[in-house]
Amino acid sequence: MAGMIAAGAGVKVAAKLGLLAVVLGFFKSFGVALLALKKGLIVILIGLAAVGRKILGLFRRKDKTDIENNP
């Protein structure tokens, strides 16, 4: 209980000094950039997987049954 009171008092002091606003502003902008990078990385990885699958498809041998069934 005392820890919760001390934490609440610490947040009030930090808010009065503007320290909390600065820290939250930094993490907010950093978080947005990190989220954009994450989404971009996912798109790039999906694209690389698709290209790799196409390239591997060019080098795979087809069975005779595949050739007969798919003219």
List for the chain the helix, strand, coil content (%; round to 5). 90, 0, 10
Burial state string for 13-50 with b = 16 or more CB within 10 A and e = fewer than 16: eeeeeeeeeeeeeeeeeeeeeeeeeeeeeeeeeeeeee
Residue 39 is predicted with a pLDDT of 82
Domain spans, the chain: 2-69
Nearest 5°: the CA angle 51, 52, 54 is 65
pLDDT tens-place string over residues 9-63:
776 666 666 666 666 676 677 777 777 788 888 889 999 999 999 998 888 876 6
